[in-house]
Structure 1
Amino acid sequence: MEQDKPKYLQLKEYLIGLIENNELPRGNKIPSENELAEKFHISRHTVRRAISELVNEGVLITSQGKGTFVNNEPKSRQNLIGVITTYIGDYIFPSIIRGIDQVLSENGYSIALGCTNNQFDKERQCLENFMKQDIKGLIVETTKSALPNPNIELYDEFRKRNIPVLFMHGSYKGYSASSIYEDDVEAGYIATKHLIELGHRKIAGIFKIDDIQGHARFEGYCRAHRESGIDINDKRIMWFGTDDMLYKFGKQSGDMVIEFLEDSTSLVCYNEQISIKVIDIIREKGLTIPERLSLVSFDDSELAVASEVKMTTVAHPKEKLGIEAANLMLKMIKEGDGIFKVKMTPELVVRNSTGRVNG
């Protein structure tokens, strides 16, 4: 099975493919839960979820004591919502997708997924693919959202077709559209303010240059410094992009990262995917957290508690954001015209990666 897509969705697509190709004719019994679990090396719970959703969508029917069958008269799969995210299979993305799917399936909609890997050409492929489908709405996590977007004309085409488009995690600069996002300026502010309250004045920052969240978190970082009368030193700021992330935080760049942090007592780090790499580099050099360096990250993913260092972090709403996005999409489908903006409030989760400044 594909690594970047939830397993239950892959199983759904597999069964639908068999039905559409008449390999599972209408009225025929589908393989048992045990057979499907064994075939794909997944849990029965995962199988059950896929089958349950196909039953709710009218593709399958169940008969007590007999099993599950392909419906002779399936419901139309016309109520389809396209969902495009930068990544699918890991980090915070399965939770977001789960929240979207939960609400939409309860309201008679199915979702079709696309993944951009934060690349414009893949975003275009996803959009062109959905152009060919009869979708009722489109939920999109923006790709390289701090940069001019070369695919705007495709979004305009969806709107010309009266297909509502909802952006997650911000929207494209200069493009008026509905969006739902966490208040990343506030997130950067409370992360930095926490370190200042612990006595830190030499606070480094690592931010992403091609996503708007990185700019917003940096804005919050600046605001906290300004309010406390602390000057910002350019040498304590590091920017990275999607395409140089692996190089800048790989083992070969360990000395560069250590040199960057040499004059700092603390760090505000863009997300936990980067933070875990920084922690590994620091510990390989025999340095300790938070004694040598206090660290605040963002998202509160599984990575935040994956190592001995449990990260203080600004929690991303994850599944809740997905739920709110789906509810907003349903509202947009019902009400038609209008631009909607939903801003979600971040929360700081304090763990053991931060402490009072030494000395």
Structure 2
Amino acid sequence: MATLKYQQVKKYIIDFMQAEHLKYGDPIPTESELMKRFDVSRHTVRRALSDLVNEGWLYTMQGSGTYVSDPNADMNISGKMVGIITTYFRDYIFPDIISGMDDVFSEEGYSLLLGTTKNNSTRERVVLNNMLNNQLAGLIVEPSKSVYPNQNIQLYRKFINRGIPVLFIHATYRALETSYVIQDDEYAGYIVTKHLIDLGHKYILGIFKQDDMQGHGRYQGYQNALEEAGINTGDDLVQWFTTEGSRKVASEENIKAWLDENEKVTAFVCYNDKLAVNVLNSLMALGYSVPQDYSIVSFDNSKRANTMVTKLTSVAHPKAELGEKAAHLLIELMKNPNQIFEEVMKPELVIGDSTRKI
């Protein structure tokens, strides 16, 4: 019996992944490349890719492409699919989070359908509508701009009304009563600020993200530590930024202006490692040294925190552990959707080279 065209495409992709020793997250050849190689239609290629997604070999990311999920997947997997929506994907802490989820779901026979929002609720709406057109067993979401009222609440209710459980990570939407796995951001803000206070710092500039709940939690922890130590420096030492203003907030111009206005500042609490790296680079460009002139602390203990010449002191994000926890809880919800899980993970501070005693 002749092998059908789409089956030839499937076999080629599997052989290619194994021959090239592709790992989780590696891209496979594009649809156009596969169409040209086999002289077949886009429909044939998409049928092959769809089969491989359902069988656990691949996952797709809307607007980006198709990537390796498990190069040793079992061809007998039943085709169950879970949706994962994050603000970003191929950068920072997100590959580790997704990998943690995939480790759990692949063992249970689930494949992943991924979408990213760039922390934008309009993009989130597009991704949610795409997810609704697929036969999902469950959905994990990192909210976009979680502090603000969200335009997509009715879409989330559609999932819930269809019996598809929804679990949030990092934050939640107040309008929905759903399960979540979050980090204790208030405690995280407290321990990084207390670390600076214990080193003798009193004038500590805090830079926080205003459109995500994580930023507000970290700010509250920062304030709690200052109040506990009897330090009251006022709002002049707190700077807020939005997703769209994340680059400008740490620019040389802004950093110089803040330091000119607050000459007593000796340390920075930065919303995350991305921001901290930009602040550190701006300070160096202005002729300052870290930690000799200024100490810096941040959040997430990402690869960026550990690959700088000056290793950042940073709160460790659970990353893969959080992903695994979210996956396990969603599986429980898929068995019993009436449960509500409220999981709060306690962070730890990792001491680097970016702080010193004064």
Both structures adopt the same fold (TM-score exceeding 0.5): yes
TM-score range with shorter-chain normalisation?
0.7 to 0.9
Distance 1:131 1:297, change over 3 A: same
Deviation at 1:29, TM superposition (A): 3.7
Aligned residue type for 1:315: A
Measured in 2, the distance between the counterparts of 1:69 and 1:346 equals 34
Structural mapping, 1:34-183, within 5 Å: 44-46=21-23, 57=55, 75-77=77-79, 79-183=80-184
Sort the Cα spacing of 1:28 and 1:177 in 2 relative to 1 into closer, same or farther, 3 A: closer
Q: TM-score, normalised by structure 1?
A: 0.82
> Using a 3 Å threshold, how does the CA distance of structure 1 residues 341 and 260 change in structure 2: closer, same or farther?
farther
Distance of aligned partners of 1:355 and 1:56 in 2 relative to their CA distance in 1, 3 Å threshold: same
Structure 1: distance between partners of 2:73 and 2:144: 38
2:235 partner amino acid = D
Partner SS state of residue 172, structure 2: coil
Q: Deviations 1:269-295 (Å, cap 9, x if unpaired)?
A: 100100000000100111111121111
CA–CA separation in structure 2 for the residues paired with 1:174 and 1:109: 29
Displacement after TM superposition at 1:204 (Å) = 1.0
Cα contact 1:178–1:340 (8 A) shared by 2: yes
2:286 — aligned with what?
A: 285
Distance 1:101 1:203, change over 3 A: same
Name the SS of the counterpart of 1:25 in structure 2.
helix
Q: Residues 156 and 90 from structure 1, CA distance in 2 versus in 1: closer, same or farther, beyond 3 angstroms? A: same
Alignment correspondent of 1:350: 351
Matched residue count: 322
How far 1:54 moved relative to its partner? 5.4
In structure 2, relative to structure 1, the CA distance for the partners of 1:245 and 1:31 (3 Å cut) is closer
Which of residues 12, 21, 27 is equivalent to 1:30?
12
Task: Look up the match of 1:4.
Answer: none
Query: Over aligned residues, Cα RMSD in angstroms?
Result: 3.0
Q: In structure 1, what residue type is equivalent to 2:285? A: E
Deviations 1:161-211 (A, max 9, x none): 111000000101243111100000000000111111111111110000000
Structure 2 CA distance for aligned equivalents of residues 284 and 48 of structure 1:
35
- Specify the code of the residue in structure 2 equivalent to 1:81: V
Q: What TM-score do the two structures reach when normalised by structure 2?
A: 0.82
Match of 2:222 in 1: 221
Q: What amino acid is aligned across from residue 181 of structure 1 in structure 2?
A: I
Residue identity opposite 1:240 in structure 2: F
CA distance in 1, matches of 2:113, 2:143: 17
Residue type of the alignment partner of 1:350: I
Q: Using a 3 Å threshold, how does the CA distance of structure 1 residues 226 and 101 change in structure 2: closer, same or farther?
A: same
Contact 1:142-1:172 within 8 A present in 2 as well: yes
Contact persistence 1:272–1:304 (CA under 8 A) = yes
Taking every aligned residue pair, what percent have the same amino acid on both sides?
A: 41
